[in-house]
Structure 1
Amino acid sequence: MIQADFNGSRSLKEMHLSRDIVVIGGGLSGVCAAITAARQGCKVALVQDRPVLGGNASSEVRLWALGATSHMGNNNRWAREGGIVDEIMVENTYRNKEGNPVIFDTVLIDKVLAEPNITLFLNTSVFHVQKDGDRIIQEIIGFNAQNSTLYHLSATEFIDASGDGIISYLAGVPYRIGAEGPEEFDEPLAPDIEDYGELLGHTLFFYSKKVEEPVRYIPPSYAIKDASIIPGLRNVEVGDHGCKLWWFEYGGRKDTIHDTEEIKMELWKVAYGIWDYIKNSGKLKGTENYTLEWVGLIPGKRESRRFEGEYMLNQSDLVQQKPHEDAISFGGWAMDLHPADGVYSDKPSCTQWHTKGVYAIPYRCYVPLGVDNLLLTGRIISASHVAFGSTRVMATCAHGGQAVGMAAAHAIRKDISPRELLEKRHLQALQADLVQMGHYIPQLEQEQRPGLLQQACISPSSTLQLTELPTSGKWETLTFSMAQMVPVQQQLPDFQLWLKASEATTISIELRKSSKRGNHSPDITLHSETFELQAGEQMISFQVPTLDLAGQYAFITVMKNEQVAIALSDHMITGIIAVYNQVNKAVSNFGKQEPPQGLGVDEFEFWCPKRRPKGGNMAISFAAPVYTFDSGHLCRSIYRPVAEPNAWAAALEDPQPQLTLRWEQPQAISSLQLFLDPDYDHPMETVQMDHHEHVMPFTIRDFSVLDEEGQPLAVVRDNYQAIVKIDFPTTLQTKVLHLKLEAPSDTVPASVFGIYINGQSQSLLNDN
């Protein structure tokens, strides 16, 4: 028995731990930073103040994670982020294509627990920073109320992924809250602070469910009594729940850090009051059998502090897609600002302005002023309020997280500060390692880091030459204009299309391209022709004049005519896609962006794919190959389509293609890495959206690595990930490797973006 002691005080249990890197914040940014650093051999502590990982993407908040793909509602083709965050998204789609937020929690925990170099601290709130002098963080202190323990965590490097920037704040990094004026960074999009407000508010979701019997609802006493005071109520439909209620927003006129509990209470009042309106007002039909299944217990935060770094990203960086020598990440969500009054505002719930393509984010935005062993990531990076409207979304934040995780590992390995990585040779090494983990950096012209593949003779069993997308017998009525994107190596050949008219009419076909190589906004029309059609099915032939299209995508554009249908193909090929000039109101896509003059954003049309199983490629036949998917692409380090597919692909009639790699001298090979196609165009929203497939149709599922005699060295079955690494148990000594691949399906040829072979030439070993 423990005797009571009323005379003295007691101390909490304390634990002191030292790691290479401490990551504060277990949202997607912190998770990706921690996993990246851990896989580089660093000992990492990941500290999260909630019982689950994921932050706004977790089951506590239930917001879908998105980034540059923007629900496939913009012109950013093949823009899913890549790297660790892509590994997570692909894993979640494989396990959880229905979008269950609880399952996504398990995916994140699994990924972190699989890393032996990560020590995970859940339910641990950091409240103190101990510094060594003015510029070095020595340790942080956190408290876990579940086990009543104080944790003292020291490290060489610290990464702040905490959302509100608790570490950066306590360490004294200069910060900003609210909007800059339009003159500071020449940003016409900067909001009118008095009228529009300068902070985005919090959101709290609810989930409803339809059951077999009628369910009554008695609201709590604190629910708002008159939901008609909410202007956005007109948007409510029976069955809406989760992320579709993103506009349940409040708090932009308050302190979004210290007033969070007050903001949450107001959002509870709104949520329960709106459910009362849905159930009991009599103004919505079919509500009787709906019940309120779940209401969020913590709100999802959008905005609080932004910390000042070596560079502050701004509107012109995004709109002009400015190149940055120190680019380590990218974004592509719209500049998306919300009225500060949220649900009580009479203004549209958001104002979104898109860019024509993705933009680069420089490393300097992640390097804070005033502290030498700290990196920023997530929504707190150095960006203006306008630029933050785009960089704040979770997949973009996570992509930056893995970049700073790699940066922190490089700083430790080289025994330098993160700021010193800005030196060109260090920066290039950082970028190369990021690219090698599948992390995409736009505008980075970088050949693959030295490996054994460049010294090999690559012999494929076949090579796809794109001459035809054969008809499937399906037809698409041209309710919207449709364009087939095809890569052009030299000259766009003459081509044929199959059309079906319900009556005699005309059809216009335009040949377009993007004004910027690597963008996918067809804003330049090079040539146009009009064809007379008779009622019924017919083939039309297009004679192509000499055009400036080499080295980029051509848009074969068939303009809308509801009396005409176009033949589709069910063949799907890496880097080949059809897009439509359609509307996606969820991301402010109304077919065309038409900004008022002087706003500093571009006017352009939106051309977006349809989600599978809808849509498809045009059935089309070329007079000569328009593009050859040759094996030379395997030696490059762009592991996704950009200005071209950047892939080798086998012929469709080759269901078990083989790549033979042959060297003049024996090689000592330790590992082999394949970069496959996980369909970077598909958004893979983490919750609520139901995806058509659990494995992307372009991804090679099965392959084998064989030795010179054809004996298997490694066999991979049922793969679904983009990157597959094979570590050989003992170093291979060989002059030949065979890769035997299985085509994904009868209508999808096998394709590979790149191969990296780690090892050393035997001749070099002998010389040493």
Structure 2
Amino acid sequence: MRVVEEEYDVVVCGGGLAGFSAALASARHGARTALVHDRPVLGGNSSSEVRVTVHGAAAVHPYARETGIISEALIEERAVNHAVIEENGWTNSVWDLTLYDMAMRTENLTLHLNTPVEDVEVTDGRITTVIARTLNAETILRIRGRYVIDCTGDGVVGDLAGVTSYHGIEAASEYDEPSAPDSASELTMGNSLHFKTVDTGRPVEFTPPEWAVSYDDPEFFRSGGRLIQTVASGYWFIEIGPPWNTIYDNEAIRHELTRQVLGIWDFLKNKDPYWSEKSRNLALDWVGQVPGKRESRRLLGEVFLTEHHLRGEKPFDDEVAFGGWYVDLHTPGGLYAEVAEPVTSGLFTEAYDDAAEEEAAVEELAEKPGVSKYVGPYGIPLRALVSREIDNLLFAGRVVSSTHAALGSLRVMGTVATMGQAVGTHAAILTERGATRAGDLSEIERLQQTLLRDGCFLPNVRNADPLDLARTARVSASSEQRVSSIDVDTEDNLGGLGHWSQGHPVYPASGRLEQGLAQWIAVGDTPSIETLSVLLDNTSGQAREIEATIYAVDGIWDYRLEPGAPLRSGTLTVEPGERWATWPVGLTAAELPAGGYVRLHLGAAADVEWKLSDAVLPGQVGGYEVAEKRLRRFGGGSTFSFSVEPPLAPYGPSNVLSGVTRPTSSTNVWRSDPQAALPQWVELAWDAPVELSQVQITFAGHLLREYHGEPPLFRDPQTAKAYTIEAWDGDGWVELARERDNYTNRVVHDLPETRTDRIRLVVTETNGDPSASVYEIRAYASAVCTLPAYR
């Protein structure tokens, strides 16, 4: 057996999306970094070995998709992958290769794959050495590092180091969490195994082995949250945990899950009254043999997160990541439990994929358990990712310092990737400073501003980067989009980003006023709103009266049904048929939230439908009423048909210097007039010449929803494809950089040494949108921005 000694600044253990993001972030910031991973491919549960799709805050909240390193990976995968996303089980090796390619492009990063951690050495409260074995190479690695990051999922490093850990479920009496049960237990959420099928084009038989589980009752797959919408791949509910331990009994769970997968496929293929016919030409193409874990150990950090932290309005001063998935607690026991997962069980009662049947199956949520589980978007503090007991240990992923209930939201892969990038960046900064404690928060503002500069999003932190010269500039543009009307006939300018479904259930499926509906309307610099009209279809055969209310709201994530005193209240009379109902609201500038949002509410009215637009109006989304006087995003983030006079002005050029790179309390995006032909430009000007060597641009796109709705080879139409960066030399514009085939959102350009008092971005072509669309422009005298993997 060969023994190899290595030394790094940062050692990241675990190559799931948390560890992958941590390692790339650390290395990009100059720290010599090792990534030690026990599998042959990166990505953990998202890899082709497990095939769980990457979920995050955008599943619930509009414009809440995670950015940073995870965004680079997801954008690239969709741009080069031929495969349609079919929820769990679909992932192919294109995703594996995308992650591997990003790692190989990263300087200062050493990969050790097929290398599980076996032990650690601890001296004076610090991990000095990580001991790992490279499988099939008869090699023991003794890796020393100044900082160690545990992203193993099971908290292997922390456990070996003697860190306090938690396993199981806390009782409600411990933290008074709404989702906690009366009694504590050692139970956990289970592990899942997926499968994938292929259409052979002809009938094909399937005979299960004798040892497979036998299912005979169709009702088992029509209840308990075990929703079947496709036989292409799946399912998350093929899940087993207790009575087995998800760590020590992982192999026993794997064997049992294999029996379950084959038995379930046998039922669907040969016995189910609905799915057997649809499965006639399908054959099993892949059955996983690496179970995907949801929960095991949680390590003790300097802050212990509870469900209340996810619901609280007070932000953490050390916010470094964010989440927004709902409190998704699967029932311990999985397939052995009567209800696999309460929220899904409450939302869906049918198991068919026919569009009409699916729409009928999705019931009103007002009485459903999922309503109380929605949280966020919320910030995650660094102190929940730093060990309280080991000075140089950080961690990210499902090992986060939290209760079982809080983990229900924190555990999803989009969220853990943002945690990983935060701790990797923090470790690199600590290394540069020569700091000795991972819990050193003396430069937390620097860490936050670095994360923002690297493309991450923090809900409660804006760009205040002292090095960003753009913050002192004046901004102007060639044109800007003004909004007067969006209706059913509005051209779908955003290339398939209309009312999203693509096989994934969205609720509601139409604008029928079976419950109250709402539309967030971005005001921008509009001086007044004289009239507000909505397009309604009254099929009752008689005039109907609908209660209408307008509120000022804090932003697109202000879900309060009654956020304050109404700006206006009234009644709209709607004659039979499809027609515009006009309301002379007469709102003045003094009443409108400058730069922010108002929200129009329509009360429930039988046989009346508020018509949806097929187009998307960026930053402006619909909502629907749920229980507890709350609203939720409508469908996949659709826009209801409405018109205003005078036209709204929410997309001015000043938005590129707002300090926020997505719609939140305002749209935060400049959009050129879609009626004005490209090229269009946005310009920064200073009172005196500045020295420039680097420019970073954040284009629009890839934010509204999760990437599940994006087709193969997708390029977001809002993202600029071809553009130039130009500087004024006193006589004319001089080209500094040119791009002809861009499809990503964060781009960085190193410029020739330039002294100028004006630069401009000129967008000559987008990937489909007639408007040029930019969230942010940054400018620097030196090269401080990390370079994306693909540029």
TM-score of the superposed pair, with normalisation by structure 1:
0.87
Task: Name the structure 1 match of 2:332.
Answer: 340
Q: For 1:510-569, what per-residue CA distance to the aligned partner results, in whole angstroms no more than 9, with x for missing partners?
A: 335586556242512734433333344533321225556555322224456575555665
CA contact under 8 A between 1:675 and 1:723: conserved in structure 2?
yes
Aligned counterparts, 1:508-547, within 5 A: 508=546, 510-513=548-551, 517=555, 519-524=557-562, 526=566, 527-544=568-585, 546=587
Q: Does 1:61 align with 2:61?
A: no
Relative distance call for 1:637 and 1:580 in structure 2 (3 A) is closer
Q: 1:136 aligned to 117, 121, 126, which one?
A: 126
RMSD (Å) for aligned C-alpha atoms:
2.9
Task: Give ranges in structure 1 of 5+ residues lacking alignment.
Answer: 1-11, 582-590, 595-601, 762-768
Match of 2:67 among 61, 82, 85: 82
Contact 1:279 1:288 in 2 (8 A): yes
Q: How many residues align?
A: 715
Does 297-306 or 231-240 show the bigger shift? 231-240
Task: Tell me the CA shift for residue 399 of structure 1.
Answer: 0.6
2:596 match: 552
Q: Is the 8 A contact 1:356 1:519 kept in 2?
A: no
Bigger CA drift: 90-99 or 396-405? Answer: 90-99
Distance in 1 between the 2:441 and 2:740 partners? Answer: 42
Distance 1:432 1:569 in 2: 38
Q: Deviations over 1:203-262 (max 9, x none)?
A: 11111233223222222232123555994475475843534x111111133221111111
2:407 is aligned with what amino acid? F
Q: Aligned equivalents of 2:324 and 2:761: distance in 1?
A: 36
Contact 2:534 2:580 in 1 (8 A): yes
Matched letter for residue 269 of structure 2: K
Matches within 5 A, 1:595-606: 604-606=630-632
**Preserved contact between residue 33 and residue 108 of structure 2 (Cα < 8 Å):** yes
Q: In the alignment, which residue of structure 1 is the partner of 2:366?
A: none
Alignment-mate amino acid for residue 28 of structure 1:
L
Name the counterpart of 2:191.
Answer: 202
Conserved in 2, the CA contact under 8 Å of 1:491 and 1:549?
Answer: no
Contact 1:78/1:680, CA 8 A, preserved across alignment? yes
Gap change, CA 1:271 and 1:531, over 3 Å in 2? same
* Structure 1 residues 372-451: aligned runs within 5 Å: 372-423=391-442, 426-451=443-468
* CA contact 2:391–2:439 (8 Å) conserved in 1: no
Distance in 2 (CA, whole Å) between partners of 1:545 and 1:44 is 60
SS state at 2:170 partner: coil
Q: Does 2:482 align with 1:465?
A: yes
Matched, 1:253 2:253: no
2:153 matched to 1:120? no
In structure 2, do the counterparts of structure 1 residues 294 and 745 end up closer, same or farther at CA, with 3 Å as the change threshold? closer
1:103-161: CA deviation from partner (whole Å, max 9, x where unpaired): 11111111111112211111101101022x23111111111122221112111111110
Q: What does residue 726 of structure 2 align with?
A: 706
Matches within 5 A, 1:501-512: 501-502=538-539, 503-506=541-544, 508=546, 510-512=548-550
SS in 1 for 2:316: coil
Distance 1:572 1:226 in 2: 44
On the 8 A contact 2:326/2:375 being kept in 1, the answer is: no
Instruction: Pick which of 36-45 and 208-217 moved more.
Output: 208-217
Whichever residue aligns with residue 246 of structure 1, its letter is W
CA distance in 2, matches of 1:619, 1:346: 42
Identical counterparts, % of pairs = 29
d(CA) in 2 for partners of 1:549, 1:456: 25
Deviations 1:462-493 (A, max 9, x none): 23333443662689963356533212346554
Asked whether the 8 Å contact 1:19–1:155 carries over to 2, the reply is yes
Counterpart check, 1:145 vs 2:139: no
Q: What are the residue-to-residue correspondences of 1:282-681 with 2, within 5 Å?
A: 283-284=273-274, 285-286=276-277, 287-351=279-343, 352=370, 353-355=372-374, 357-423=376-442, 426-469=443-486, 472=489, 478-480=511-513, 482-489=517-524, 492-502=529-539, 503-506=541-544, 508=546, 510-513=548-551, 517=555, 519-524=557-562, 526=566, 527-544=568-585, 546=587, 549-559=593-603, 563-564=607-608, 572-577=616-621, 579-581=622-624, 592=626, 594=627, 604-610=630-636, 617-654=639-676, 655-681=678-704
- Larger displacement relative to structure 2 (509-518 or 618-627): 509-518
Q: 1:741 and 1:34 mapped to 2: Cα distance? A: 34
The structure-2 alpha-carbon separation of the partners of 1:308 and 1:446, relative to structure 1 and needing over 3 Å to count, comes to same
Does the Cα contact within 8 Å between 2:322 and 2:378 map onto a contact in 1? yes
| Residues 238 and 675 of structure 1: CA distance in aligned 2, closer, same or farther (over 3 Å) | closer
Kept after mapping to 1: 8 A contact 2:547/2:571: yes
Alignment correspondent of 2:357: none
Distance 1:80 1:568 in 2: 23
Rounded Cα–Cα distance in structure 1 between residues aligned with 2:211 and 2:218 = 15
Q: Are the counterparts in 2 of residues 650 and 749 from structure 1 also a CA contact under 8 Å?
A: yes
| Contact 1:487–1:643 (CA under 8 A) maintained in structure 2 | no
The 1:231/1:499 distance shift into structure 2, 3 A limit, reads closer
The answer to whether the Cα contact below 8 Å between 2:671 and 2:773 also exists between their aligned partners in 1 is yes
Q: Please report how far the alpha carbon of residue 693 of structure 1 lies from its aligned counterpart in structure 2 after TM superposition.
A: 7.4
Distance (whole Å) between structure 2 residues aligned to residue 456 and residue 229 of structure 1: 65
Helix, strand or coil at the partner of 1:738: strand
Equivalent-residue separation in structure 1 for 2:739 and 2:533 (angstroms):
40
State the secondary structure of the residue aligned to 2:703.
Answer: coil
Kindly indicate whether residue 220 of structure 2 is the aligned counterpart of residue 220 of structure 1.
no
Q: Give the C-alpha shift of residue 723 in structure 1.
A: 0.6
Instruction: State the partner residue of 1:92.
Output: 77
Tell me how far apart the structure 2 counterparts of residues 691 and 437 of structure 1 sit (CA, whole Å): 27
Checking the alignment, whether the CA contact within 8 Å between 2:301 and 2:388 is kept in structure 1 is yes
CA–CA separation in structure 1 for the residues paired with 2:322 and 2:552: 20
**Contact kept? 2:194, 2:236, Cα under 8 Å:** yes
Three-state SS of the structure 1 residue aligned to 2:27 is: helix
Superposed displacement of residue 396, structure 1 = 0.4
CA distance in 1, matches of 2:483, 2:545: 25
CA distance in 2, matches of 1:508, 1:626: 24
Q: Is structure 2 residue 718 aligned with structure 1 residue 727?
A: no
Worse overlay, 299-308 or 650-659: 650-659
Q: 2:782 and 2:198 mapped to 1: Cα distance? A: 59
Taking structure 1 as reference, are residues 513 and 531 closer, same or farther at Cα in structure 2, changes over 3 Å only?
Answer: closer
Structure 1 stretch 79-88 or stretch 181-190: which is displaced more?
A: 181-190
Asked whether the 8 Å contact 1:264–1:298 carries over to 2, the reply is yes
**What secondary structure sits across from 1:504 in the alignment?**
coil
Contact 2:554 2:665 in 1 (8 A): no
Q: How far apart, CA to CA, are the structure 2 residues paired with 1:714 and 1:445?
A: 27
Using the alignment, how far apart are the partners of 2:458 and 2:139 within structure 1? Answer: 41
Structure 1 residues 532, 603: closer, same or farther in 2, change over 3 A?
Answer: closer
Task: Give the conservation status (yes or no) of the 8 Å contact 1:448–1:636.
Answer: no
| Pair 1:106 & 2:103 matched | no
**Aligned-residue offset at 1:408:** 0.4
After superposition, give the CA deviation of every residue in 1:720-761 in whole Å (9 maximum; x if it has no partner): 111110012x32233332321136378642121111111079
What displacement does 1:192 show? Answer: 4.4
